[in-house]
Structure 1
Amino acid sequence: MTQIVVLPNAELCPDGAVLEAAPGETICDVLLANEIDIEHACEKSCACTTCHVIVREGFNSLEAADELEEDMLDKAWGLEPQSRLSCQAVVAETPLVVEIPRYTVNMVSEGNSK
């Protein structure tokens, strides 16, 4: 099992959390399985940015983002070099430290869908 440390997020995880993940699981699935209700408006299909996270430690252990994920990340609030969509970031064997940004951009709920 791989350890994921989730940094405190006022709304989703006020005290932070230490989670265990099986290699091969996505960060999003691990968060949801541990009652950290990260938004995932596109149902984890890499079609939005609501599950955006910043991988503070262990980023290089993740497979590189593909072009579609990179294109979606360009639309994320608070984008950083270590940003990933948690629905696409597959856990390996290296422990991770993950930050859930304070804000998210949900094009559907904000009435911007076309």
Structure 2
Amino acid sequence: MPSLTILPHPELCPEGAKIADAPQGVSICRVLLDNHIEIEHACELSCACTTCHVIVRQGYGSLDEATDSEEDMLDKAWGLSPISRLSCQARIGSQDLTIEIPKYTINHAKEDH
């Protein structure tokens, strides 16, 4: 199984983290949540917001292409880059991944999930 490395984030993962056995075919967001990294996901993983936006620093090419719906939503994300994805839509492939969770989202109110 590929690994998922999370770069340090001041609130969600201050020291960074590494998930050694990230299951293929599962969304990055689900893997983060299952491993107690509480990334925002205001739309409950339905590709209707950008709160789970991540920047894929390594392994971007191993992910399936983003759908038109995901691309449309990503246009609204804070800190968008050419290697951005919505973690609820990007499914882990066969290669190791390194991701960065942006410091901000466009979410004005955060609920506990």
Same-fold call, TM > 0.5? yes
How far 1:2 sits from its partner (Å)? 1.1
Structure 1 runs, 4 residues or longer, greater than 4 Å off:
none
Q: Which residue of 1 aligns with 2:8?
A: 8
Q: SS of the counterpart of 2:57?
A: strand
1:35-87 per-residue CA deviation (whole Å, 9 max, x = no partner) reads 00000000000000000000000001000000000000000000000000000
Which AA in structure 2 matches 1:3?
S
Which AA in structure 1 matches 2:103?
R
Q: Percent identity?
A: 61
Q: Structure 1 length as normaliser, TM-score?
A: 0.93
User: Partners of 2:51 and 2:83 in 1: how far apart?
Assistant: 16
User: Partners of 2:64 and 2:30 in 1: how far apart?
Assistant: 16
Across the aligned residues of Structure 1 and Structure 2, the Cα RMSD in angstroms comes to 1.1
Unaligned residue ranges in structure 2 (runs of 5+): none
Alignment partner of 1:72 is 2:73: yes
